[in-house]
Amino acid sequence: INLDAAFRLSVQIYQFLAKMDDCSSLNVPRKCCDWIVDYRCYTMDTLEKDLVARVNWGNCQHPVISEQQE
């Protein structure tokens, strides 16, 4: 990552019930994930792939992404 183009991405994941592919349910607790990304090449597709690596949900579910103003 080029440090001149880097920024910290902070994603807050609210508690939810994951519906797994085997029809079981999994309570996913609330958590916050932080990582450094390069703004020149980071996309929503990249964000979704990064979330898949950090959060467990079923194939019939998808993330809802929104911006929080401070």
Domain boundary assignment for the chain: 3-54
Q: Residue 7 is encoded by which pair of tokens? A: 């920024």
Number of alpha helices (DSSP H) and beta strands (DSSP E) in the chain: 1, 4
Q: Is the pTM of this model over 0.85?
A: no
Structure tokens given for 19: 């519906």
Confidence class for position 40, pLDDT limits 50, 70, 90: very high
> How confident is the model at residue 59, as a pLDDT?
83
d(CA 40, CA 2): 9
